[in-house]
Amino acid sequence: MVGQAYTIMRVALPYFRMKMSRLTAFVTCIISMSALAAQSSPNWTLATASIREFQLSPGSNPPRITAGADGNLWFTAQQKGIGRITPSGSISEFPMPNTYPWQIRSAPDGNLWYSAAFEIGKVTLSGTRSRFQLNGPIEDIAVDRNGNIWFLADSFFFFGAVVPQYVGRMTPAGVIAEFQLPPSSIILSSEITSAPDGTVWFTEYFGSKIGRITTDDVVSEFGTPTPEARPSRIAVSDNGNVWFAESNLSRIVRVSPQLVFTEFQLPDGGPYAVTVGPDKNIWFSQFDAIGFITTDGKSVTTIPLPPGMHATDIASGPDSNIWFTDLPGNAIGRLDVASITPAGNIPTLTAFALGLLLVALCGVACLRLS
């Protein structure tokens, strides 16, 4: 920030000498630096917390996790099937040979839905499974307030022809509607989620866009504020704000209901997964850390994971803790939210201190005009 302020002074000073009085130069400098101050990053706090992992059977490799209606956490075990873990850490597994499930979501009726390569499946809380075969690879799924399952279907080759990608909606009975996307859309490695108002939002990771489907089935796409941002995961808070991770830029983005995009710079590491936490803050994973940003965007807290642990996906648990999958570590993790203790604030300038600094810098610049 200070370096940027000096840059403004060095560029503007020759012009000030030729064209402006001291007073005019002073006012212009203040206005310019006030605009710079408005772009400052959130305050950053490092913290510690009680974090524990629960090992799974060898080869489970869990990619995703969600809170179930039964008060437990449910997860996909890519090499094994579906798993359930209680808040105390008791694990049950439901084998699904040759299925390789990826995403898992909880539905309003209490059942769970999962995605696999060419199928979407339903699992009851007792572990009974129903399967619906699709004619293309499924990237991700979400369940809306009416119990419909939304999914991202990637393009693929079929007998020499390309079957285009689309967003699909499937009723609990298996009736499918398709919503075609423009040819420029790229939904590979993307995510879809549902909002409380019935709209559906999705990311386009390689296309650096996010998309929306309204309750009237109108599809819209919006580019990220910064190109090549690589939006990975997306969530919607209770007040209707949409949050997504820009994994290529180390930023979290908030989208208001009026479609105002605001980027918040994280101090280190690209975020991957995002979720609304039990405290209503926006939580995110950074592979070797878990953090959260307040909904006003003014404060970021980062909690490094113990050595050897990694956070792939995160979810808000029924026990008001944050749960995560550790895919390379073959485990499910739990972060005790109540145990979070600040370990130290990273020095940042308050608005008042920054204002004093800017006034001083502008004053020095103006004194050099004579």
pLDDT tens for 243-301 read 999 999 999 999 999 999 999 999 878 899 999 999 999 999 998 999 999 999 999 99
pLDDT tens for 184-214 read 888 888 999 999 999 999 999 999 999 999 9
How high is the pLDDT of residue 346?
A: 55
How high is the pLDDT of residue 359?
A: 47
How high is the pLDDT of residue 187?
A: 86
Q: Which H or E run includes 6?
A: helix 2-19
Mark the ranges of the chain whose per-residue pLDDT is less than 50.
Answer: 1-40, 348-359, 361-362, 364-370
CA distances from 86 to 72, 229, 332 (A): 5, 36, 11
Residue 3: strand, helix, or coil: helix
Q: Shortest CA distance to 278 belongs to which of 125, 87, 63, 48?
A: 87
Question: Letter for the amino acid at 99?
Answer: T
Cβ atoms of 218 and 234 closer than 8 Å? no
How high is the pLDDT of residue 299?
A: 96
How high is the pLDDT of residue 21?
A: 44
How high is the pLDDT of residue 272?
A: 95
Cα–Cα dist 235/19, whole Å? 51
How high is the pLDDT of residue 163?
A: 61
DSSP per residue, 92-125? EEEE-TTT----EEE-TTS-EEEE-SSEEEEE-T
284 strand-pairing partners: 274, 291
Q: Shortest CA distance to 285 belongs to which of 328, 318, 227?
A: 328
How high is the pLDDT of residue 274?
A: 98
Q: Shortest CA distance to 163 belongs to which of 180, 145, 139, 184?
A: 180
